[in-house]
Amino acid sequence: MENKQLQKNLGIAAALSTVVGMVIGGGVFFKPQAVYTLTGGAPGLGILAWIIAGIMTITAGLTAAEVSAAIPKTGGMMVYIEEIYGKKLGFLTGWMQTVLFFPATAAAIAVMFGQQAAILLNNPSLVMPMSIGVILLVGILNTFGSKTSGTIQTVSTVCKLIPLVLIIVFGFIKGSGDNPVMSPLVAEGISPMGIIGQLLVAILFAYDGWINVGAIAGEMKNPGKDLPKAIIGGLSIVMAINVVINLAYLWVLPASELAQYASPASIVAEKIFGPVGGKLINVGILVSVFGCLNGYLLTGPRIPYTLANQKVLPAMFGKLNKHGVPANATLFMAVLSAIYALSGQFNLLSDLSMFAIWAFYTLTFIGVIKLRKTQPDLKRPYKVPFYPVIPIISICSGLFVVIDQLFLAGMKSSMISLGGVIITLIGLPVYSFMTKNKPELQEENKAA
């Protein structure tokens, strides 16, 4: 029923721009500081980690795209896991995305926006008001219809590529090229194996967002054909941009200096173009982050919308407004994101969201193999190449992220990850309460 009501007006351009728009946001501009801080100001392992994380993400996209195309329903990963593992685990996925992943990620992006705006306006007191304000603005804009949201996404994606291209081109032209790029791997006294996990988790935030285009499959004109193209094509573009722009940064400034700035792109732009040029690039960064935030508040509310239609969340989240979008769910997620943003902790929010989402990514990767065995006749418009090698690589990547964050990355990371586990598991009593007096759902659960 939901797909009959939701407007099918999103094509390949909007889907592709959603992938690129959601992935290329704050990470490419802000995460290099965390990367080169971890390496002690050495460039080598940082660049290798950008490449490794890109390969991990592409194999993940190649794997998950098979499920996305075979189950092109609104709800994305939550629906995939429900189809593969049953309703309870499907709900837990949607719960995690609704109360943790989407709002925490949107909040992290908004905090970056606030910090960047405050730098541009030279007024540190504006960080929090700008962070909260941009969330509420984007949330309201996304109540005007998916076509409006898709247009914003397409325009912002085109605009954000301009400063990226300028930095890359003029970085290589005007930069000295005298700074080391691949050596040393890490500074003296730092173990490469001891920090590689933290590096990858930090960088994976810069690559994340690729799977969420699946959440709008029900509003795409031809999801079976266009969804895999959007995921794979978008990720290939993103990986190339991430690696090349990091090389351009190093062409202008050494890694030890990049580690000192919250927005390396801004200081690099200032070195290349002067103070005025630096401010113009800052504006481009704001546009980029705005588009990234728009992507999350476009796709995220489709999760509680779907759960409400399944009667496992309050019915108010399942209502569409006159524009055919779940406005209540959108505004709820915007408010929750604003509450998260009050923490002002970009790295804490991003690390928390990465741990939570990669645990469920891994279940999705495993699900591809499971579906091949349990439903061999399922229509698959797209099949992952080099099966089962690519899915196995994806599964190992996901397990590495989860295990590293829980047990190997230090007490702080372990506590953040444990918090994510607790927030996710709260969904179990919520699910029991919502299905308690609904015999039809209980019967479905027993069958599952």
In this prediction, residue 159 carries a pLDDT of 74
Three-state SS sequence of 253-284:
CCHHHHCCCCCHHHHHHHHHHHHHHHHHHHHH
Pair 218, 71: CB distance under 8 Å: no
Alpha-carbon distance of 296 to 446, in angstroms, equals 34
Rounded-to-10 torsion of CA 260, 265, 267, 273: 160
In this prediction, residue 25 carries a pLDDT of 66
Report the domain count for the chain. Answer: 1
- Neighbour-count burial of 280, counting CB atoms closer than 10 A to its CB (0-12 exposed, 13-18 middle, 19+ buried): middle
Question: Phi, psi (5° rounding) for residue 145?
Answer: 115, 150
Tokens describing residue 356: 């939570």
- Residue by residue, pLDDT tens for the chain (448 residues) are 444 455 666 778 777 777 776 677 678 888 888 899 999 999 999 999 999 999 999 899 889 888 888 887 766 788 889 999 998 999 999 999 999 999 999 999 999 999 889 888 889 899 999 999 999 999 999 898 777 777 777 777 777 778 888 999 999 999 888 899 988 999 999 999 888 988 998 899 889 877 766 656 666 777 777 777 777 888 888 888 899 999 999 999 999 999 998 778 888 998 999 988 888 888 888 888 888 888 889 888 988 998 998 889 998 998 998 888 889 999 999 999 999 999 888 888 888 899 899 999 999 999 999 999 999 999 888 788 889 999 999 999 999 999 988 887 778 888 888 988 999 999 999 999 998 876 666 545 544 4
CATH classification of the domain holding 365: 1.20.1740.10
In this prediction, residue 73 carries a pLDDT of 73
| Domain of 375, in residue numbers | 2-447
In this prediction, residue 285 carries a pLDDT of 83
In this prediction, residue 447 carries a pLDDT of 45
DSSP 313: S
Segment 325-328 long-range contacts (CB within 8 Å, at least 24 positions apart): 325/142, 325/143, 325/144, 325/145, 325/146, 325/149, 325/301, 326/301, 326/302, 327/143
State the number of CA atoms in the 13 A half-sphere of 80 facing the CB. 29
C-alpha Rg value of the chain to the nearest Å: 21
In this prediction, residue 148 carries a pLDDT of 73
In this prediction, residue 393 carries a pLDDT of 96
In this prediction, residue 1 carries a pLDDT of 41
Distances (CA, A) of 207 to 21, 213, 237: 11, 14, 11
